[in-house]
Amino acid sequence: MTRTKTPRNLNAVMADMCRSIGMTEAYEQFKTLQIWDSVVGETISKVTTVERLKDGDLYVRVKNPSWRMELNFRKKDITTRLNKAIGREMITTIIFR
């Protein structure tokens, strides 16, 4: 990496570092977990906790069975919005538990 005179955003530095050591997939998975709140909104964010992303499956803990049912109805829409925010088809399915 070359030195720059202007400070860089930490996200940009981490992306460059992960790319240089071959951890691009892991970094993209981390970013996916971070954008959950902004994609689903505050209401859903309050009742859910993202647990992990493994092999295209996003595991999400839901605090309430009625919310779990509602989110299962919205699963396709949420998956589409997450993949759009990521910029590629990273999530194939969401598993609400």
Domains, the chain, ordered by start: 28-96 (3.30.300.180)
What is the C-alpha to C-alpha distance for residues 82 and 33, in angstroms, rounded to an integer?
10
pLDDT of residue 24: 67
Least confident of 26-35, 59-68, 83-92: 26-35
Asked if the model's pLDDT at residue 38 lies above 80, the reply is yes
What is the C-alpha to C-alpha distance for residues 72 and 15, in angstroms, rounded to an integer?
32
Average model confidence (pLDDT) across the chain: 84
Structure tokens that stand for 8 in this block: 């860089």
Asked if the model's pLDDT at residue 25 lies above 90, the reply is no
What is the reported pTM? 0.73
pLDDT of residue 93: 92
Asked if the model's pLDDT at residue 5 lies above 90, the reply is no
